[in-house]
Amino acid sequence: MEVQKVWDDSYKMLIGGKFVDASDGKTIKSYCPADGELLASFPEATKEDVDTAVKAAWKAFESWKNVSAAERQDILMKIADAIDANKQKLAMIETMDNGKPIRESMGDIMLGADHFRYFAGVVRSEEDQASIINDPGSGNNLSIILREPIGVVGQIIPWNFPFLMAAWKLAPVIAAGCCTVIKPSNYTSLSLLELAKLIAPIVPPGVINIVTGRGSTTGQYLLDHPDFRKLAFTGSTEVGYSVSEAATKKLIPATLELGGKSANIFFSDCNWRKAIDGAEMGILYNQGQVCCAGSRIFVQEDIYDKFVAELVEAFKKVKVGLPWEHDTQMGSQVSQEQLDKILSYVEIGKKEGAKVAVGGERNTEGPLAKGFFMKPTLLIDVDNKMRVAQEEIFGPVACVIKFKNEEDAIAMANDTQYGLAGAVWTQDINRAIRVARGIEAGKVWVNQYNNLPAGTPFGGYKKSGIGRETHKMIIDEYSEIKNIFISLDENPTGLY
């Protein structure tokens, strides 16, 4: 497939319904990680720009908070339709900016559109509650429980799924009747800026404000701004702490989707045909730059040797290639920085006594020399206590660890600071459920991996975060609850 130059040379931010540059005119450049080509420039928002966006959001909120559920549903549906109509273009931009294979970008865009449709459905099923409270102490009353939008929220998203993470954040905001100021990662801002052009004619001005810039500058201005009612963040656990502290200082809630070191557990009775593919899916999808990646592969001892041998062969066959080619299975890591971090972990693993069974190095074959390509990598002879088994590598590098029995597998799976996801592969239904229940993580797959449709809650235990997205329950996090309590008694209390 040819690269189609479908993106603009320069982008503007969306603030108060207008497309604007940074107030000081500063810009950042975005490059394609697969070939180093300059793609586009976009603004680096100043403190003043963030403040303008927050003010625009509050201004919009005055009327937006009263917009009917039917209208919000209609807006969500229109956004989904606009994404569908532009999916080829959005997917190409995502692939060029992030380095992920085009087949995955297309999946992300379609999943993103579906996310808006899911919340369009959720909106119309919203019902407030009323009940009669009648007891000797409080008398005869009608209690009405209303959900109201929390107000203006600040949202920060990462570079690994730029478009999908934006969809995960924006759809519930619109569904709940909130307004937002959202910042993408400066490594991958283009797909959201392209989406801005699609949503500007659909969403009232100021409801969605998109500011771009670096985390250390623009991101920090968001965290420091006093006028948010809630923060929502997806990214590293390290920055998650800063977001949490910023929220605490303002006494506002924060939902956090953070890092992981998930266990992908294979029992000897697993369906072999699905298993090897499942291990690959867990660690190679999106070049392993997945928060819920199955980066610790636990294999039962009696199948261990066969499993490793087949997985090594499978890793060798993976087509690492230019991300815009249709047959590419693994593309480029997002940046030099990320590639260096991954390679440094391979070295750490070797020093700790792990062996590289396959991969372990950069891929510089032919045209790949210009990008940040990595070979699919397996580390064996790994102990779960090693740094490579405890720290997030965020690349196509999995540790393979042998286990004896169920108890052993669950204990090691839980011996981590994280708790985002995990999977169990077995054909014994009781074992599947026992192990799934035993794992301290927000998502446990059985006989599959990395499947995240809307309607299935996603989020972490432990240091992997707070809150659940991709399910209607996230609406609560963007809401305040009001109780209107009405006396139905004709007489005074009689106490005075």
Interface ranges with ligand NAP (CB under 6 A): 156-160, 183, 185-187, 214-216, 219-220, 223, 234-236, 239, 242, 257-260, 291, 392, 394, 420, 465
CA 226, 227, 233: angle at the middle one, nearest 5? Answer: 85
Q: How far is the CB of 492 from ligand NAP (least distance, A)?
A: 54
CA 87 from centroid of its chain's CA atoms: 19
Q: How far is the CB of 470 from ligand NAP (least distance, A)?
A: 9
Q: How far is the CB of 74 from ligand NAP (least distance, A)?
A: 28
Q: Is position 127 annotated as part of the catalytic site?
A: no
C-alpha distances in Å from residue 223, one per residue of 50, 163, 219: 10, 22, 6
Q: How far is the CB of 257 from ligand NAP (least distance, A)?
A: 3
The answer to whether the Cα torsion of 157, 162, 165, 170 is positive or negative is: positive
Helix 102-125 × helix 69-85 angle, to 10°: 170
How many whole angstroms separate alpha carbon 28 and alpha carbon 188?
11
Beta carbon nearer to ligand NAP, 358 or 388: 388
Q: Among the options 257, 280, 325, 469, which is catalytic?
A: 257
Q: How far is the CB of 297 from ligand NAP (least distance, A)?
A: 18
Beta carbon nearer to ligand NAP, 112 or 235: 235
Beta carbon nearer to ligand NAP, 72 or 183: 183
With a CB cutoff of 8 Å and minimum separation 6, the contacts of 414 are 438, 439, 440
Q: How far is the CB of 291 from ligand NAP (least distance, A)?
A: 3
Q: Is position 325 annotated as part of the catalytic site?
A: no
Give the three-class secondary structure for 345.
helix
How many whole angstroms separate alpha carbon 377 and alpha carbon 68?
51
Beta carbon nearer to ligand NAP, 188 or 300: 188
Task: Return phi, psi of residue 391, to 5°.
Answer: -100, 150
C-alpha distances in Å from residue 339, one per residue of 128, 335, 344, 349, 360: 50, 6, 9, 15, 11
Beta carbon nearer to ligand NAP, 82 or 420: 420
No. of H helices and E strands in the chain?
A: 15, 20
C-alpha distances in Å from residue 426, one per residue of 120, 270, 274, 391, 413: 36, 4, 10, 27, 16
Q: How far is the CB of 36 from ligand NAP (least distance, A)?
A: 19
Task: Count other C-beta atoms under 10 Å from residue 209's C-beta.
Answer: 30
Beta carbon nearer to ligand NAP, 231 or 299: 231
How many whole angstroms separate alpha carbon 5 and alpha carbon 67?
38
Beta carbon nearer to ligand NAP, 156 or 279: 156
Q: Are strands 152-156 and 179-183 parallel, antiparallel or unpaired?
A: parallel
DSSP-H helix ranges across 177-303: 190-199, 220-224, 237-250, 272-284
The answer to whether the Cα torsion of 392, 222, 475, 175 is positive or negative is: negative
Beta carbon nearer to ligand NAP, 149 or 154: 154
Tokens of 347: 């070295």
Nearest Cα residue to 391 out of 260, 224, 243, 205: 260
Task: Return phi, psi of residue 232, to 5°.
Answer: -135, 130
Beta carbon nearer to ligand NAP, 86 or 289: 289
Q: Among the options 32, 178, 270, 291, which is catalytic?
A: 291
Q: How far is the CB of 67 from ligand NAP (least distance, A)?
A: 28
Tokens of 226: 């006093």
Tokens of 147: 């959900």
Fill in the DSSP letter of residue 195. H
Task: Count other C-beta atoms under 10 Å from residue 374's C-beta.
Answer: 27
Beta carbon nearer to ligand NAP, 402 or 463: 463
Q: How far is the CB of 258 from ligand NAP (least distance, A)?
A: 5
Q: How far is the CB of 426 from ligand NAP (least distance, A)?
A: 26
Catalytic residue numbers read: 257, 291
